[in-house]
């Protein structure tokens, strides 16, 4: 690597970082490219090693990664991506366009539910839910409350799949249209209910469950089956079960990308 290239890469990274989404690791970058993210910069401390890894894991995007990669010294990578950095590659990308997300969430012919997380507290859960929504082909993930669902830790937990679905933080009065199917242990057994494609599937916060405001607006309250004495499931696993129930065996994606 030339010193000039590395110095220029650092300058560009510092300039772009404040308004960009951090993609930490090859897995996140792979998905971001597959789902048409505008990737602004990619740095690595081991170009040959990362390209070899990419060829094994993501042959379809290895060429593009090779075009974008700039090699920098290992200490520079660690300085630019200090928090939780464990891999040899990181990238900056633009957020998915809000108007594109809004169009997907509000489409009048929407054929898949929107997952709503009511005031989630755990960024790992948020990312895991985005990953589920992407895998099941849900229309999007809407969060309420103060956590940014595009926080780097959520993007990392979501493996970069924020680009494969519409992820937005919205106020209650800005929700997309559709009946609210609220998941709550006190509801009707979900197995007795068909979840419509235009539903908003609402899940409560890890600490306090669903807020009284959303509960009051529910079209249905749905319970996931649980043995007595178990008080609740983890948020992301509840979303997995809710989406699995909605999809049924016929609607599950036929193959993994």
Q: Kindly state the smallest distance separating residue 214's Cβ from ligand SAM, in Å.
A: 10
Please, are residues 130 and 162 in contact by the beta-carbon 8 Å criterion? yes
Q: Whole-angstrom Cα distance, residue 32 to residue 37? A: 5
- The nearer residue to ligand SAM, 231 or 255, going by C-beta atoms, is 231
Q: Kindly state the smallest distance separating residue 189's Cβ from ligand SAM, in Å.
A: 9
**What crossing angle do the helices spanning 59-68 and 26-34 adopt, rounded to 10°?**
100
The separation between CA 126 and the C-alpha centre of its own chain, rounded to angstroms, equals 7
Q: Kindly state the smallest distance separating residue 107's Cβ from ligand SAM, in Å.
A: 25
| Contact partners, residue 66, CB within 8 Å, separation at least 6 | 51, 54
- The nearer residue to ligand SAM, 29 or 183, going by C-beta atoms, is 183
The sign one gets for the Cα dihedral 137, 140, 145, 149 is positive
Count Cβ neighbours within 10 Å for each residue of 89-101 and write b for 16 or more, e otherwise: bbbbbebbeeeeb
Q: Kindly state the smallest distance separating residue 102's Cβ from ligand SAM, in Å.
A: 25
- The nearer residue to ligand SAM, 44 or 205, going by C-beta atoms, is 205
Please, are residues 43 and 90 in contact by the beta-carbon 8 Å criterion? yes
Q: Whole-angstrom Cα distance, residue 73 to residue 50? A: 14
Q: Kindly state the smallest distance separating residue 196's Cβ from ligand SAM, in Å.
A: 18
- The nearer residue to ligand SAM, 13 or 175, going by C-beta atoms, is 175
Q: Based on DSSP, count helices (H) and strands (E) in the chain, helices before strands.
A: 10, 10
Residues that bind ligand SAM (CB under 6 A): 183-185, 203-204, 206-210, 223-224, 226, 232-235, 238
- The nearer residue to ligand SAM, 24 or 118, going by C-beta atoms, is 118
Q: Kindly state the smallest distance separating residue 181's Cβ from ligand SAM, in Å.
A: 10
Q: Kindly state the smallest distance separating residue 23's Cβ from ligand SAM, in Å.
A: 28
- The nearer residue to ligand SAM, 23 or 202, going by C-beta atoms, is 202
Length of the chain: 257
- The nearer residue to ligand SAM, 22 or 236, going by C-beta atoms, is 236
In order of 156, 172, 197, 221, the CA distances from 248 in angstroms are 28, 29, 12, 19
């Amino acid at each position: 690597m030339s010193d000039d290239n590395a110095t220029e890469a650092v300058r560009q990274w510092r300039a772009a970082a404040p308004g960009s989404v951090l993609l930490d690791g090859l897995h996140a970058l792979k998905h971001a490219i597959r789902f048409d993210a505008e990737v602004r910069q990619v740095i690595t401390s081991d170009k040959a090693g990362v390209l070899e890894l990419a060829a094994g894991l993501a042959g379809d995007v290895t060429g593009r990664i090779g075009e974008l990669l700039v090699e920098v010294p290992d200490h520079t990578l660690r300085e630019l991506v200090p928090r939780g950095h464990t891999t040899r590659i990181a990238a900056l990308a633009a957020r998915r366009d809000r108007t594109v997300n809004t169009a997907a969430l509000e489409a009048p012919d929407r054929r898949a539910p929107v997952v709503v997380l009511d005031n989630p507290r755990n960024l790992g859960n948020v990312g895991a839910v985005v990953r589920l929504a992407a895998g099941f082909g849900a229309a999007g993930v809407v969060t309420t409350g103060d956590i940014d669902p595009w926080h780097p830790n959520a993007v990392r937990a979501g493996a970069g799949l924020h680009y494969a679905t519409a992820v937005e933080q919205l106020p209650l009065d800005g929700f997309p249209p559709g009946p609210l199917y609220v998941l709550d242990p006190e509801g009707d057994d979900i197995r007795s209910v068909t979840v419509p494609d235009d539903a908003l599937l609402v899940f409560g916060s890890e600490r306090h469950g669903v807020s009284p405001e959303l509960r009051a607006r529910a079209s249905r309250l749905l319970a996931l089956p649980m043995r007595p004495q178990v008080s609740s499931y983890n948020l992301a696993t509840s979303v997995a079960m809710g989406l699995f129930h909605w999809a049924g065996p016929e609607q599950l994606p036929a193959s993994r990308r």
